[in-house]
Amino acid sequence: MEHSPSDPLLGFAQRLRTLRLERGLSQEALAAVAGLDRTYVSSCEAGRRNVTLRTICRLAAALQVDPGVLVSGLCMPSPDAATASGQ
């Protein structure tokens, strides 16, 4: 699966990894607190998972942040917006 630079999966992946590292957690520790498998957390951080809202909430709780912190600003522009800007 190829991702564009503005792909929200990659933005989420980077944000998840950054928050985890800022808290000094390993993938295994984050997974344990969130009730997930370590390989699942790894694939989320690699941008290979289209995570559910429930999973976002579990990860946010484990990281002690509001779920919005994980997803804020990640939406790709609508096709209409790209057309209007001449792209």
Res. 75 pLDDT band, cuts 50 70 90: confident
Res. 4 pLDDT band, cuts 50 70 90: low
Tell me if 29 is assigned to some domain.
yes
CATH of the domain at 67: 1.10.260.40
Number of domains, the chain:
1
| pLDDT mean over 40-50 | 97
Long-range contacts of 41-46 (CB under 8 A, 24+ apart): 41/16, 44/12, 44/13, 44/16, 45/13, 45/16, 45/17, 45/20, 46/13
Do the Cβ atoms of 19 and 70 come closer than 8 Å? yes
Tell me if 52 is assigned to some domain.
yes
Q: In terms of residue numbers, what domain contains 16? A: 8-71
